[in-house]
Amino acid sequence: MSAAAVSTIRAMGRWEPNARGRLEQAAMELYGERGFDQTTVAEIAARAGLTERTFFRHYADKREVLFAGSELLAELLVAAIAGAPDSATPLDAIAAALEEVGALIQESRGRDFARARRSIIAANAELQERELIKLASWADTLAGALRDRGVDDRKATLAAETGIAVFHVAFRRWVGDGNDRDLSALIRESFGELKALTTKDRQFAPTSVQT
């Protein structure tokens, strides 16, 4: 990913006295106060002190306030997979890529934004579907990047789907109440827990029955 693209993602989450930052803040406030469905683009623009025309210069529709940057993050995933060491397993490459994305999400948007976004999406079935589509798209992106490294299609798909599931679990932990740990650390820990599940633990080994 280019330095300019990374800078764009980082700039998205920081409120600054500019049009995009003002529109994002106004939209998030109104979604929280009135609900997503009850909020109009006109109301968002009015609260931000801007016009509807300005809103549509920055966002295709009011949903994009919540999903802006997804394509750029997918770009980062591809670049991270491509840059992984040749010795990395498919799952290790995915883990490293998702850690990079997690660090950038935390830096650019922050936990408070993520928590507010989660609440807004949880209250709207259409937004929940859009979130699932976004994650499925990331899985397809990861699988494609692995195939470009020569990974078998079936293994690439399995690793990608598994990686997104682990990311989802870690993200939920990150936005959970009382959690102050870094998202990238939680992603790394969750992948470690996944690997532990594939290792036979002696305490679960069947014991012999003496007669």
| Helix runs in the chain, H state only | 3-13, 19-34, 41-48, 52-58, 64-67, 70-82, 90-108, 110-122, 125-148, 153-175, 183-197
User: What's the pLDDT score for residue 157?
Assistant: 97
CATH architecture of the domain formed by 1-65: Orthogonal Bundle (1.10)
Q: What confidence category does residue 69 fall into, taking pLDDT thresholds of 50, 70 and 90?
A: confident
From the candidate CATH numbers 1.10.287.180, 3.30.1150.10, 1.10.357.10, 3.65.10.10, the one assigned to the domain spanning 69-198 = 1.10.357.10
User: What's the pLDDT score for residue 142?
Assistant: 97
142, 151 contact by CB (below 8 A): no
pLDDT digits (tens, 9 = 90+) for 96-123: 999 999 999 999 888 999 999 999 999 9
- The residue extents of the domains of the chain are 1-65, 69-198
User: What's the pLDDT score for residue 160?
Assistant: 97
Average pLDDT over residues 131-138: 95
94, 170 contact by CB (below 8 A): no
Cα(158)–Cα(74) distance, integer angstroms: 18
Q: What confidence category does residue 207 fall into, taking pLDDT thresholds of 50, 70 and 90?
A: very low
Q: Comparing 176 with 159, which gets the higher pLDDT? A: 159
The answer to whether domain 1-65 and domain 69-198 are alike in fold is no
